[in-house]
A = this chain, B = another copy of it.
Amino acid sequence: MARTPPTKPRKNALQARSRATVDALVEATARILTRDGFEKASTNRIAEVAGVSVGSLYQYFPSKEALVAAVIERHNEEIMGIVRTALAEVADLPIDKAVRKLVTVAIEAHRINPKLHRVLAEQIPRTGQLKDVEAFNREIHTLVHTYLESRRKEMRKIDLDVATFICVSAIEAVTHNTVLHGAEMLSEKMVRTLVEETTRLVVGYLR
């Protein structure tokens, strides 16, 4: 039997409905962030929206930042999953096919929840999650780098690190701007055009 005295479980020991509580809290935080922005996300409001009391909230999250951090982590995990899958599927394809697929996936990933994406991007410096996000970026960098290495014969002579940086930046930027700036008024046709053009940009650069 655990010797742990019935103190407040520092962080969590979720075995039953408490799991549901935690989920509800994270979900509520995400909803409020998306719909009303960071300022409106007070702990009282989060608890209220989650259908939970503030007391319970503080049993699982030591601070408001911890909640936002949890949302960020969940979101990043989701996106990383998509990216990893895409890069795996693409491993044996030639550069042009691969890039096209990656750009498509990138836009789709951003389209899941553009507003959340934006708010989170804003809050990352505040929550001290910068390190995690950098890790996240490094993983993408590594994955792309590895892919490019395996396709070196299709490319011109080039510093792979620099090339990776340029390609990832370019793709990220177009998807970002497409989804965030360009609002939601994105015809399917427009998306296809942008995918095509971005592919051309990157592929043209690599060889």
Residues of chain A touching chain B, judged by Cβ–Cβ distance below 8 Å, are: 37-39, 118-119, 122, 125-126, 134, 137, 159, 162-163, 165-166, 169-170, 172-174, 176-177, 181, 193-194, 197-198, 200-202, 204-205
**Residue of A137, A165, A169, A201 with highest tally of chain B CB at under 10 A:** A169
A126 and B118 CA atoms in complex are apart in Å by 12
Q: Is the interface of A mostly helix, strand, loop or mixed?
A: helix
Chain B residues near A38 (CB, 8 Å)?
A: 126
A162 and B202 CA atoms in complex are apart in Å by 15
A166 contacts B205, C-beta separation under 8 Å: no
Cross-chain contact of A174 among B39, B122, B166, B204 (Cβ < 8 A): B166
Known: A37-B125, A122-B122. A177 touches B201 (CB 8 A): no
Known: A122-B122, A125-B37. A201 touches B166 (CB 8 A): yes
A170 and B181 CA atoms in complex are apart in Å by 14
A181 and B173 CA atoms in complex are apart in Å by 14
A162 and B200 CA atoms in complex are apart in Å by 12
Chain B residues near A137 (CB, 8 Å)?
A: 181
Chain B residues near A201 (CB, 8 Å)?
A: 166, 170, 201-202, 204-205
